[in-house]
């Protein structure tokens, strides 16, 4: 078992680390306070090849794969968690169209997405269909040469600012799971509009909106994969997405711990630095160990996916652990700073607000447990094959 990164992975990780330090970290607080989405930052990530990570060069990407992508997302999240998150969603959408689309669709959508010229968004959730995604009702009725979409989608990351939307719609009322299809809707299509940017607890530099479809016609060429396969496509994409969110959460946790540790080394109380108190030493020792455990789990899930091995359970485990760890680490970081931690003049309260969403989206952590339990249940007598 070789845990060393390749020279190429180290170089790419350094590029992401430098970018986060120079472009994200100095701006994150202002972007959050003013709910500013920076398109320029997205374009710069395109120039650095962070926008087509799973797509081969032939279609505008780099195809570096999941493990290298996880390293990038981890670094970006240290600078700005919200930016890292929307780039993971963008890569997920780019890959979804690449994986299930035909060459014409790849040329039309994947290439500009992978080059960072267009931004992608993913839309599955509805008011009555979050965890129960198969309950979605936004309809796509077949008509001459295409579909007419009606309905409202909820909580779309990069809503309004994105150009290309992978949307899950109902093409068949008579079936639940198999009545769902994946389609692409481009911004500017008549009948397609956006709700206002939702005011949120955090993640404000990444807009979240509703999508409104009002007799919105799309041509048949916008169907991705076969009709009825949409839920399967959507959930397969989310499996990879969970690894990416776990990587973002790991970066956030590392950043919060580094900050709190640096603070504890400087803060003098009772005549000495507070890090000399064993109560705090044991706390940071536990936090660092928990980050290491979840980080390894994310890297392994990413590696399995790169090998083409099954990793549904590993991705769910990694997402669950890494995001719960980020929540704990960021909460404890606030505690380590004491009253200062609660103030906006220090970053840790923002980290804590960032961490909360990671336990909720791309499948809540309860749903990750449902997935893990379902996977475990596949093995009779409780005997799970040893995958190491």
Ligand X SMILES: Cc1cc2nc3c(=O)[nH]c(=O)nc-3n(C[C@H](O)[C@H](O)[C@H](O)COP(=O)(O)OP(=O)(O)OC[C@H]3O[C@@H](n4cnc5c(N)ncnc54)[C@H](O)[C@@H]3O)c2cc1C
- Interaction site with ligand X (CB under 6 A): 89, 122-125, 130-131, 155-157, 200, 203, 208, 357, 360-361, 363-364, 366-367, 370
**Which residue is nearest to ligand X, using beta carbons?**
130
Which CB sits closer to ligand X, 233 or 291?
233
Q: For the CB of residue 163, give the shortest distance to ligand X in the complex, in Å.
A: 15
The CA distance from 386 to 355, in Å, is 32
Q: For the CB of residue 181, give the shortest distance to ligand X in the complex, in Å.
A: 15
The CA distance from 24 to 17, in Å, is 10
Is 362 among the catalytic positions? yes
Q: For the CB of residue 125, give the shortest distance to ligand X in the complex, in Å.
A: 3
Q: What is the 3-state secondary structure (H, E, C) of 304-330?
A: HHHCCCCCHHHHHHHHHHHHHHHHHHH
Candidates 23, 111, 160, 362; catalytic one: 362
Q: Which two tokens stand for residue 227?
A: 């009709």
Which CB sits closer to ligand X, 80 or 291?
80
The CA distance from 88 to 357, in Å, is 14
Which CB sits closer to ligand X, 331 or 364?
364
Q: For the CB of residue 366, give the shortest distance to ligand X in the complex, in Å.
A: 3
Q: For the CB of residue 362, give the shortest distance to ligand X in the complex, in Å.
A: 6
Which CB sits closer to ligand X, 68 or 204?
204
Backbone region of residue 92 per phi and psi (left: phi > 0; alpha: psi in -120 to 50; beta: other values):
alpha
Kind and range of the H or E element at 170? Answer: strand 164-170
- Which residues, listed in sequence order, are joined to residue 212 by a DSSP beta bridge? 152, 193
Cβ atoms of residues 51 and 116 within 8 Å: yes
Total H helices, total E strands in the chain: 12, 10
Which CB sits closer to ligand X, 89 or 337?
89
User: Catalytic residue positions?
Assistant: 362
């Amino acid at each position: 078992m070789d845990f060393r990164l390749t020279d190429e992975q180290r170089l790419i990780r350094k590029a992401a680390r430098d970018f986060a330090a120079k472009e994200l970290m100095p701006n994150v607080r202002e972007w959050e306070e003013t709910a500013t989405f920076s398109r320029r930052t997205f374009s710069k990530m395109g120039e650095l090849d962070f926008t087509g990570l799973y797509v081969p060069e032939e279609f505008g990407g780099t195809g570096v794969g999941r493990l290298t992508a996880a390293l990038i997302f981890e670094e970006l999240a240290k600078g700005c968690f919200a930016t890292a998150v929307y780039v993971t969603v963008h890569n997920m959408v780019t890959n979804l169209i690449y994986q299930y689309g035909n060459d014409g669709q790849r040329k039309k959508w994947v290439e500009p997405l992978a080059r960072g010229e267009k931004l992608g968004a993913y839309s599955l959730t509805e008011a009555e269909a979050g965890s129960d995604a198969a309950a979605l009702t936004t309809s796509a009725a077949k008509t001459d040469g295409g579909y007419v979409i009606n309905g409202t989608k909820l909580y779309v990351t990069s809503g309004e600012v994105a150009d290309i939307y992978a949307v899950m719609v109902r093409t068949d009322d008579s079936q639940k799971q198999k009545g769902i299809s994946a389609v692409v809707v481009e911004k500017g299509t008549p009948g397609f509009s956006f709700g206002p940017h939702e005011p949120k607890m955090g993640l404000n530099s990444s807009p979240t909106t509703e999508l409104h479809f009002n007799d919105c016609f799309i041509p048949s060429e916008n169907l991705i994969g076969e009709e009825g396969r949409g839920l399967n496509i959507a959930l397969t994409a989310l499996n990879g997405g969970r690894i990416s969110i776990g990587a973002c959460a790991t970066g956030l946790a590392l950043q919060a711990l580094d900050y709190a540790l640096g603070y504890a080394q400087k803060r003098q109380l009772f005549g000495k630095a507070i890090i000399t108190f064993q109560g705090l030493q044991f706390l940071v020792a536990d936090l660092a160990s928990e980050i290491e455990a979840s980080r390894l789990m994310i890297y392994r899930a990413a590696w399995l996916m790169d090998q083409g091995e099954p990793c549904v359970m590993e991705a769910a485990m990694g997402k669950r652990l890494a995001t719960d760890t980020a929540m704990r680490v960021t909460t404890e970081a606030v505690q380590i700073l004491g009253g200062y931690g609660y103030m906006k003049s220090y970053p840790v309260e923002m980290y804590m607000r960032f961490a909360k969403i990671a336990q909720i989206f791309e499948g809540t952590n309860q749903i990750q447990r449902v997935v893990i339990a379902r996977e475990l249940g596949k093995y009779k007598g409780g005997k799970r094959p040893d995958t190491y």
